Amino acid sequence: MRFKLPLLAIGLEVAMIVLFALFVHYETDHNVHQQINTTTPGAVDKFLVSYALFQDVHVMIFVGFGFLMTFLKKYGFSSVGINLFIAALGLQWGTLIRGILHHHNQEIHVEIENMINADFSTATVLISFGAVLGKISPIQMLIMTIIEITVFIGNEYLVGEIFKASDIGASMTIHAFGAYFGLAAAGILYRPGLRKEHDNEESVYHSDLFAMIGTLFLWIFWPSFNSAIADAGEKQYRAIINTYFSLAACVVTAYAFSSLVEHRGKLDMVHIQNATLAGGVAVGTCADMEIYPYISMIIGSIAAMVSVLGFKFLTPFFATKLRIHDTCGVHNLHGLPGVVGGLAGIGAVALGASNKSTPAMQAAALGSSIGTAVGGGLITGPQ
Amino acid sequence: MRFKLPLLAIGLEVAMIVLFALFVHYETDHNVHQQINTTTPGAVDKFLVSYALFQDVHVMIFVGFGFLMTFLKKYGFSSVGINLFIAALGLQWGTLIRGILHHHNQEIHVEIENMINADFSTATVLISFGAVLGKISPIQMLIMTIIEITVFIGNEYLVGEIFKASDIGASMTIHAFGAYFGLAAAGILYRPGLRKEHDNEESVYHSDLFAMIGTLFLWIFWPSFNSAIADAGEKQYRAIINTYFSLAACVVTAYAFSSLVEHRGKLDMVHIQNATLAGGVAVGTCADMEIYPYISMIIGSIAAMVSVLGFKFLTPFFATKLRIHDTCGVHNLHGLPGVVGGLAGIGAVALGASNKSTPAMQAAALGSSIGTAVGGGLITGPQ
Amino acid sequence: MRFKLPLLAIGLEVAMIVLFALFVHYETDHNVHQQINTTTPGAVDKFLVSYALFQDVHVMIFVGFGFLMTFLKKYGFSSVGINLFIAALGLQWGTLIRGILHHHNQEIHVEIENMINADFSTATVLISFGAVLGKISPIQMLIMTIIEITVFIGNEYLVGEIFKASDIGASMTIHAFGAYFGLAAAGILYRPGLRKEHDNEESVYHSDLFAMIGTLFLWIFWPSFNSAIADAGEKQYRAIINTYFSLAACVVTAYAFSSLVEHRGKLDMVHIQNATLAGGVAVGTCADMEIYPYISMIIGSIAAMVSVLGFKFLTPFFATKLRIHDTCGVHNLHGLPGVVGGLAGIGAVALGASNKSTPAMQAAALGSSIGTAVGGGLITGPQ
């Protein structure tokens, strides 16, 4: 058994290298080449500007998600360590699977946008990881990474290419999907003994500060997450502005509701670490639409409210009644706010904030994201 | 009393949303729109380039200021947590107040520069927070946020539009202003018992490492802070170069003076965490002027010296004789170096490094910044 | 003796200021000026795009290297504190020495590329610092900084201008050089008593989490390190893509080998903190060549393997048999992977992946980097 993890990991990496050798090439036709011909003093390399957005997302995936889960005193190192492991594997697999669906003459041409999408596909697994942390082994995480990213890219294709729905910040395809996939797997993995192990789930003072490193870098760079693959120009600019204001309103509302539901009006650290981010999740679907900043702020405030109430009332209910134990509360940070985002998207499209989609197609996208996630999680759980 | 904080926060957020609905729109006329017509392969969206500078400033505000104050073992979580709260509220209020002063036909058009300025306006409150940390409640912080940002934007308008003084990196309008506002409030809030509570002000080994996260991100991105709203081209480039070298010289001098004034030549962690940043503060006013790198280095070295000596001799004097207790020593990091920056600006303008202002107007800007800050702080303290 | 450090530091800073006053000017001729004339709506300031890459490198130098060494429970503060000190001094000295070698009419014109190269030159000293941490005083570190940067820039000139070898990500000139310089100095500084002090070299749970801050920021921004001074366009784009995939493969392989060599298949934190970065070091020399992503992944995997095996078997051998005590294991993170990078460069040039160099010149560059490093370290050690 001792050699199972190294052999599986080496086998997967060798497979990746062979598949990359067969399929993956540099992007050479237009994006990069044409710039060479136009190196006038004022012109710059366009890919370098996208690269700055990619780096913001990259920080969110590896520092943000990695440190967000360090609040558990016993799982600090394994959360940040395993986060790096599965993200590094997942980005290679995501590049391949996504590339095969969008190939050019049997070749995958890698440019900055592929790297952003590869990072995005790992985000789903990292969200699910928050629900099953402490329940599964590194080997099971590797298997889950391969299965979940495949299902995710399938659903993403369905949402974007078949339904032609809008989901620029991926409230539905990444956040709701990742949360419900993880919750379904956590439901399968439930053992009565788990509740006795809750001692491992306490935080200590310094572990809470480490988690704030994750929270803050996620919060700061979320406008980049929601705008990274938006159409250049007006839409990308709107995705930045809307996310910025949604997050600001979300923080104020999250603190208010945390103080409201806690004993003696104290602030709860778990709410500060998580619910402050719900506005970034929920504004995702309609971030690039013409919804005006104040609507973004309303979406952010609703998400904060839903998230704090979820932590306070739903998570204990899930653990005791539904036998679904959600280690890091991903349902409250990604699941519910993702659904809020999907519903906001249906409303925004119905009110004409975007003419690229219809309310029915947006609803189909939301249903498909939750459905494939639950299905995928139930299948993956027993592995 | 229990519902005071949630009700105040919800009330403020609802007010923000209403005001945003009435006044705040996307920027649509020139900055974003025109780019759509010029999407040649080499051209990029200009706002994305400013957005990278904005993100550097954003990291400074939320990670930099947030973690810098975690060195106090008992206030670690509240400093990073309240920092996020007041900055999220403050950026919304700053967007409104600043927008109303610079509006177009009753509308505030938000672009990246508004976001940079909104983040800047929160910086003043975060600096003042360092002086009153441990003395006031979250509710008092909310009230101070609203008042201080209003006064700050009034003074900034006076300095920039009436005096037409130069202060690109805001040595006077943000740093000196924030410090003296906080010190005036701290003076009002002084209670003899405070000195007995000094036990809470000790640091422990790990809390000092957390504070270094704040120090380093502030130090690294300071050239972006001083150049973010500079005129594109030569001036912006000079603001980057001057700040880079000022900070480098500041570090070497701060270590030298720390070792000089401490027993047995040991380095003091408080100096390393704070005085190393004084060069960024002090070079702010003349960062975009043609002062040459070596003058920046002299300014950085003088700021380091003043800052270390301030921590060693002035802070104890303030606490015992003037009854002003400066929790994080903001006078030494922002107050004195801000004044050094204001004086350097007067000198640089007198010597012809900029023809946009006069020494008298620079002096008026420095006086106005300190005067309105002290006045505002004295009024806010008793709230 | 008490005044030795402050006087040396002040003396060095005064010398820097005088030399900057004599030689260092702003870049004014082409890079910045011409942009002013072309401020069409779509055009942006080219230097701001390079500035974003510079900032990524800047984070690596000050946060990455600084926190990577905090894993030692007793040296946490001194590693991050001394890191800042020597990097701030080193970047000034590096600007001068490099500028004198590449001057224009006796003047050094500073632009963003000088700042990137100044940061690069400090990296060599920070790498060597990892080998001698705990063995030398701050004063000795200052002297080593001045000597090592001078020797580094001499060797860099030899490699780039005389041999005309390719080493865009500096596997040889920074990583191998820094490691072997530090190891040579550590060999000279060996005292039998050192081994008894190994107690200081243990890590504790939280110090390991602090070190992961360093690891992750280095890992995330390494594509910027390897591409920052690459030729704009295709080469720069390839340096980014190759480094991204090399690092991803490196992580998976490092975890696999860590589990393989440890008792009961556990993962070793030292491997996770260090060997995961070896792929960034090793792909450096041929990062901008047309080697295809899968070759980058092979290089990354080999580097991970070599690095884990080095930590497990070579470091104890060096300490006991060769009397070279490598505090942070820089030989395994920078030395061996740097040599792998140099060899990969020879192979890639031989196979025609670049026509700018020959295999013989690449080999000369590798030999010269190691040779000057060992020579320089042996001379510096006894100071």
Closest CA of chain A from B73, distance in Å: 10
B32 touches chain C (CB under 8 A): no
Return the pLDDT at A325: 87
B261 in contact with A, Cβ within 8 Å: no
Q: What is the pLDDT of residue C35?
A: 44
Residue C110, beta-bridge partner list: C26
> Does the pLDDT value for residue C117 go beyond 60?
yes
Per-residue confidence (pLDDT) for residue B38, from 0 to 100: 45
**Residues C66 and A65 sit within 8 Å (Cβ to Cβ):** no
> B107 pairs with which residues across the strands?
B104
Ramachandran class of C4: left when φ > 0, alpha when ψ lies in -120 to 50, beta otherwise? alpha
Buried b (16+ CB within 10 A) or exposed e, C280-317: bbbbbbbbbbbbbbbbbbbbbbbbbbbbbbbbbebbee
A146 touches chain C (CB under 8 A): no
Is residue A21 classed exposed, middle or buried when 0-12, 13-18 and 19+ CB atoms within 10 A define those classes?
Answer: middle
Helices H / strands E in chain C, number of each: 17, 2
Q: Which of B2, B63, B77 is opposite residue A205, by nearest beta carbon?
A: B77
Q: Does A208 touch chain B (CB under 8 A)?
A: yes
pLDDT of residue A37 exceeding 60: no
Question: How many CB atoms sit inside 10 A of residue C202's CB?
Answer: 11
Res. B41 pLDDT band, cuts 50 70 90: very low
Mean pLDDT of A51-75: 90
Residue range C23-29: mean pLDDT, rounded: 80
B9 touches chain A (CB under 8 A): yes
pLDDT surpasses 90 at C322: no
Residues 45-104 of B with CB under 8 A from C: 46, 49, 52-53, 56
The alpha-carbon gap from B25 to the nearest alpha carbon of chain A, in Å, equals: 6
Nearest to A279 by CA among A298, A256, A258: A298
CA C382 to chain centre: 23
* Mean pLDDT, rounded, for C189-214: 72
The structure tokens listed for A281 are: 């999740």
Residue with more model confidence, B71 or A135: A135
Query: What per-residue confidence (pLDDT) applies to C265?
Result: 74
Measured between CB atoms, does C210 come within 8 Å of chain B? yes
State mean pLDDT over C341-348.
97
Average pLDDT over residues A283-291: 95
Please say if the pLDDT value at position C104 is more than 90. Answer: no
Distance from C-alpha of C65 to C-alpha of C90, rounded to nearest angstrom:
14
Residue B251 CB-density burial (10 A; 0-12 exposed, 13-18 middle, 19+ buried): buried
The band of A196, judged by pLDDT with boundaries at 50, 70 and 90, is low
B256:C88 CB<8 A: no
pLDDT of residue C94: 96
Candidate from A46, A234, A249 with C-beta closest to B13: A249
Taking alpha carbons only, the member of C106, C108, C148, C118 closest to residue C131 is C148
Which position has the token pair 């050089």?
A: C177
Q: For residue C32, how many C-alpha atoms fall within 13 Å in the half-sphere facing its CB?
A: 21
B35 vs B290: CA distance, rounded Å = 32
Question: Are the C-beta atoms of B285 and B341 separated by less than 8 Å?
Answer: yes
3-state secondary structure A140-172: HHHHHHHHHHHHHHHHHHHHHHHCCCCCCCCHH
A108 has pLDDT over 60: yes
Angstroms from B363 CA to nearest CA on chain C: 27
Residue B197 confidence (pLDDT) above 60: no
Q: Which of C252, C266, C289, C297 to mutate to test the interface with A (most CBs of A within 10 A)?
A: C252
Closest approach of A311 to chain B, Cα-based (Å): 17
pLDDT value at residue B348? 96
Q: What is the pLDDT of residue A57?
A: 97
Superfamily of domain C7-380: Ammonium transporter AmtB like domains (1.10.3430.10)
- Does B269 reach chain C within 8 Å, measured CB to CB? yes
pLDDT of residue C133: 87
Considering only residues A164 and C28, tell me which one the structure prediction assigns the higher pLDDT.
A164
Instruction: Give the pLDDT band of residue B189 (cuts 50, 70, 90).
Output: confident
User: What pLDDT, on the 0 to 100 scale, is given for residue A383?
Assistant: 66
A42 pLDDT higher than 50 = no
pLDDT of residue B88: 97
What integer pLDDT is reported at residue A202 of this predicted model? Answer: 65
For residues A99 and B195, the model is more confident at A99
The mean pLDDT value of chain B amounts to 89
Per-residue pLDDT at C383 = 66
Closest Cβ–Cβ partner in B56, B221, B234 for C32: B234
Residue C204 CB partners (closer than 8 Å, separation 6+): C73
Which partners does chain C have (≥3 C-beta pairs < 8 Å)?
Answer: A, B
Mean pLDDT of C258-268: 85
Q: How confident is the model at residue B355 (pLDDT cuts 50, 70, 90)?
A: confident
**Is residue A129 within 8 angstroms of chain B, CB to CB?**
no
The pLDDT-based confidence of B245 (bands split at 50, 70, 90) is: very high
Most confident of A34-43, B137-146, B262-271, C279-288: C279-288
Query: At CA C153, angle to CA C151 and CA C159, rounded to 5?
Result: 105
pLDDT for A40 equals 43
> With contacts defined as CB-CB under 8 Å, which chain C residues touch A80?
209, 212, 216
pLDDT in tens, A208-241: 899 999 999 999 999 999 999 999 889 999 999 9
Selecting from C13, C18, C42 the residue whose C-beta is nearest the C-beta of B253 gives: C13
Task: Find the residue in C nearest to A24 (Cα).
Answer: C293
Express each pLDDT in C27-51 by its tens digit.
875 444 444 444 443 345 678 889 9
User: What is the nearest CA distance from B13 to chain A, expressed in angstroms?
Assistant: 7
Query: Quick one: what percent of chain B has pLDDT higher than 70?
Result: 90
- Model confidence pLDDT, tens digit, residues B307-334: 999 999 999 888 888 888 888 899 999 9
Residue to test with chain A: of B44, B63, B91, B216, most A Cβ within 10 A:
B44
Looking at residue C16, its pLDDT comes to 96
| Whether the predicted pLDDT of A30 surpasses 50 | no
* Alpha-carbon gap, residue A117 to A122, rounded angstroms: 9
Segment B144-167 shows an average pLDDT of 96
| Average pLDDT of span A303-320 | 92
Mean of pLDDT over chain C: 89
Does residue C307 surpass a pLDDT of 70?
yes
Determine the Cα–Cα distance for residues B55 and B67; give it in Å rounded to an integer: 17
A123 has pLDDT over 60: yes
